[in-house]
Structure 1
């Protein structure tokens, strides 16, 4: 509880600065906006860019969408912003993912349950991946897990988010599947997947537990090696040759939905309007092509159905937290 109080306090201090910078004029703007709750690069940025590029191009909004970056607390600052500053703004949406539900389940956003915002919809799904540099000594997941058993503290993992976040959980569940205590992992937290990937390429970490979509631009560079996808079965396209963790003997899956939420006090009319936009967008061939080009796979949930799904995920992550020894 003490950590949550400190996090909430720090987030509110940042919000004062954000509020002064943004001002009430922007809050009253008619221009649509998507908030990225992280630094540029990574999955949250991809999610906002997907909306910002596809909605105007398909004619579902009349002008360009503003993309605003609001890093801090791996989404906590943006979540607090939407509950306290822009809670009734009908024109702003915030990028969200499976990571947001994991952080809510663990209290990393503060004393919240997930009911404080309106979960709008998901337009795609991504999958976790275990990645090393091309010159790493491990050719497959077995090689890495065997080395981890022998010297768990000598291998540095890193990803977006702190211990307990979704990227850490990918590493923890994989270690657990190899009978290695997650508490023995040496893990470095970054503010977003883009920064973590930079850390891997810069030799600051040795293993990156990120998302497939974050790797699309690096696949042909020859600078990385993807040891495993955390999908139920092999995915298609440029990732088709990458084996799953499951087929290598480690029963770990980590799907990552990509979607959006709005402030809790937006009108039903505004909420419904955004649902209609996203539903119409999901049916556009142009959007489907954009989604595929960004390494995402189809997933379409909206409104009450999506809200129920999010609440189920929060409960699921509370159970997973016990499995990986985060909580009792």
Structure 2
């Protein structure tokens, strides 16, 4: 399905620390197909929780795609609201969907545990694309906003779409609502379709498509960060090309809204211990993530604030009334 529209934002820093108690068991739901950012978040954090001895045994990863996280959200709310052994991966993308009323309830339905880092948005084309630079791409869109079918892992008005529209806006492109948009359930499926010629570009997170960057199957026209990313220092930022646009997507977790304070606080403590470990710092940076911590009450407040901000932005671009 192809969509149209116009649109922005993410990230932070802070801390608190306690002794982390191992859990008896643990499961992490990745609300998308294997290979995407939420899947990476579950698998890498789960692996490190086990290796650092912060959980008993391995963390089971369950992929539950659908509705850009809405299916997993509904499942947890209705069936596992008090399951203290459960983590669910989420990000700026999920909060944007909630703010736009695309989930069955608001952020206060869940208990928001922590964020451990922020992924960075990228604009990429296939390696054989005739768009060699960001200027080439934006010039084409400026001449004819319908000339390029664009795509990402969020719906129209979602974070991937909004980041692209911010870039188009910075380039002085008019008729943002004419830019064609296709949603896929993850960055990897979007890139696969792009390589097959179904779409012309992908706007997503670097972590979602890192393997395609490594393999040389795609060309990254712009990284939406303030500075070059340590894992890929040669990739050009939009800022370095004259477009003052950034687009960070934090990575974190929630659990059910009826989980006890004891269960909730134990997860905050475990994840803070993990965040402070050398293993997480190295893993995050190698994957293109910038390590950033917000946990517990601070993270709950941050999520509520971001939900309000995304709702306001979405009203400005006409996604919601």
Q: Secondary structure at the match of 2:236?
A: coil
Q: Which residue, 198, 211, 214 being the options, matches 2:208?
A: 214
2:286 maps to 293
Q: Which residue, 134, 140, 153 being the options, matches 2:133?
A: 140
Task: Please say if 1:204 is aligned against 2:198.
Answer: yes
Q: Which residue, 153, 157, 160 being the options, matches 1:160?
A: 153
The answer to whether the 8 A contact 2:88-2:254 is kept is yes
Task: Please say if 1:235 is aligned against 2:229.
Answer: yes
Rounded to whole Å, the distance in 2 between the matches of 1:234 and 1:289 is 17
How much has 1:289 moved relative to structure 2?
Answer: 1.7
Q: Which residue, 37, 41, 46 being the options, matches 2:35?
A: 41
Report 1:1-328 matches (<5 A).
31-110=25-104, 112-178=105-171, 179-238=173-232, 240-327=233-320
How much has 1:113 moved relative to structure 2?
Answer: 2.5
Normalising by the residue count of structure 2, what TM-score does the alignment of the two structures yield?
0.89
Q: Which moved more, 1:241-250 or 1:218-227?
A: 241-250
1:14 maps to none
How much has 1:33 moved relative to structure 2?
Answer: 0.2
Aligned length: 298
The answer to whether the 8 A contact 2:187-2:209 is kept is no
Q: Secondary structure at the match of 2:141?
A: helix
The answer to whether the 8 A contact 2:161-2:203 is kept is yes
Normalising by the residue count of structure 1, what TM-score does the alignment of the two structures yield?
0.87
Q: Deviations over 1:237-267 (max 9, x none)?
A: 32x1222222323222111100000000000
Q: Secondary structure at the match of 2:88?
A: strand
Q: Secondary structure at the match of 2:108?
A: coil
1:13 maps to none
Unaligned runs of 5+ in 1: 1-28
* Structure with the larger helix share: 1
RMSD: 1.5
How much has 1:30 moved relative to structure 2?
Answer: 5.1
Q: Secondary structure at the match of 2:213?
A: helix
The answer to whether the 8 A contact 2:150-2:203 is kept is yes
How much has 1:101 moved relative to structure 2?
Answer: 0.9
Unaligned runs of 5+ in 2: 1-22
